[in-house]
Amino acid sequence: MYNTWEELESECKKCKKCRLYSNRTNVVIGTGNKNADLMFIGEGPGADEDREGIPFVGKAGKLMNMAFEGIGIKREDVYIANIVKCRPPGNRNPENDEATACMDYLRAQVIFVKPKVIVLLGNIALKNILGNTYGITKDRGKWVEKKQILYMPTFHPAALLRDESKKILFWKDLQEVKLKMESINKN
């Protein structure tokens, strides 16, 4: 495993464990507070993220920022990462072998950050973290505890851009996360 953030980031930047490296502009490792109690995990970088090297800076990221602002979560107070660190071609879903190739990086990020709550954004994040028995439609909004971390699966912000009816459920899930964080931080 990795001993420091610098070691992890260095390994990510030179990674060639799967075919995604061949088309990347930037490795998109993560952003935010590296000691956050709250972490968000998406599926992978899109075109804007690949160009800037920062997760969630495109349309879906702007929508997420608006939700954060509306609910009183500061983006700089949370840590945001993805299952894969390089952009899948055409913004397709990461394939299983690609996700597996990046999983040690994500595990290290979780170990370093030590979040109390992780929000899983979309089905790819949910299945890769909690397993294939979970599905975003049936399990979103339900708390799952694993290895002393609370997980909240919810829709990926990109899904809200395709189906506006999901915005209300996403908003409710984030409100639930905010309440849980307040409860945890009181104790």
Ramachandran category for residue 131: left, alpha or beta (phi over 0 → left; psi -120 to 50 → alpha)? left
Q: Residue 94: what pLDDT?
A: 97
Written as six digits, the tokens of 17 are 């464990």
What's the pLDDT tens digit per position in 126-162? Answer: 999 999 999 999 999 999 999 999 999 999 999 999 9
**187: pLDDT strictly greater than 90:** no
Q: Residue 96: what pLDDT?
A: 96
Furthest-apart CA atoms within the chain: distance in Å: 47
What's the pLDDT tens digit per position in 83-132? Answer: 999 999 998 999 999 999 999 999 999 999 999 999 999 999 999 999 99
Angle subtended at Cα 56 by Cα 184 and Cα 142, rounded to the nearest 5 degrees: 40
Could you give all domains of the chain from N- to C-terminal order, each with its CATH number?
A: 5-182 (3.40.470.10)
- Pair type for strands 149-154 and 144-146: antiparallel
Q: What is the spatial distance between Cα 60 and Cα 186, in angstroms, rounded to a whole number?
A: 31
Task: For residue 150, give the amino acid letter.
Answer: L
Give the number of C-alpha atoms closer than 13 A to the C-alpha of residue 100, restricted to the C-beta side. Answer: 4
Q: What is the spatial distance between Cα 14 and Cα 112, in angstroms, rounded to a whole number?
A: 20
Number of neighbours of residue 187 by Cβ within 10 angstroms: 4
Q: Count Cβ atoms within 10 A of the Cβ of residue 96 and give its class: 0-12 exposed, 13-18 middle, 19 or more buried.
A: exposed
Band (65; pLDDT cuts 50, 70, 90)? very high
Q: Residue 186: what pLDDT?
A: 86
- List phi, psi (to 5°) of 171: -60, -45
Q: Residue 8: what pLDDT?
A: 97
Q: Residue 1: what pLDDT?
A: 80
Q: Residue 42: what pLDDT?
A: 98
Written as six digits, the tokens of 181 are 């964080």
Q: In terms of pTM, does the model score above 0.95?
A: yes
What's the pLDDT tens digit per position in 5-51? Answer: 999 999 999 999 999 999 999 999 999 999 999 999 999 999 999 99
